[in-house]
Amino acid sequence: MGMAESEESIYERVARLEDEIATLRNEMDVLKSTLRNKIIRYEHKLIKKGNDVASIIE
């Protein structure tokens, strides 16, 4: 049972999946950065209002 030419080799599939994983990791980094910035802005707003805030960042 040979592979048809249209089928991917295991190496091509692994390479494609590695690319997809790298893309997902980059997207997660962007989301984490965005969330971190939102939390920092929220904490800053609370501090300006005079609330004592222990940062959850760090």
The answer to the question of residue 19 being in a domain is yes
Which residue segment(s) compose the domain that 36 sits in? 9-50
Out of 1-5, 33-37, 45-49, 50-54, least confident range: 1-5
The answer to the question of residue 4 being in a domain is no
Q: Are 53 and 47 in contact (CB under 8 A)?
A: yes
The answer to the question of residue 20 being in a domain is yes
56 CB contacts (<8 Å, ≥6 apart)? 39, 43
The answer to the question of residue 3 being in a domain is no
The answer to the question of residue 2 being in a domain is no
The answer to the question of residue 28 being in a domain is yes
pLDDT at 5 over 70: no
Q: Write down the pTM of the prediction.
A: 0.65
If one counts the domains in the chain, the total is: 1
Per-residue DSSP letter, 4: P
Distance CA 16, CA 24 (A): 12
The answer to the question of residue 26 being in a domain is yes
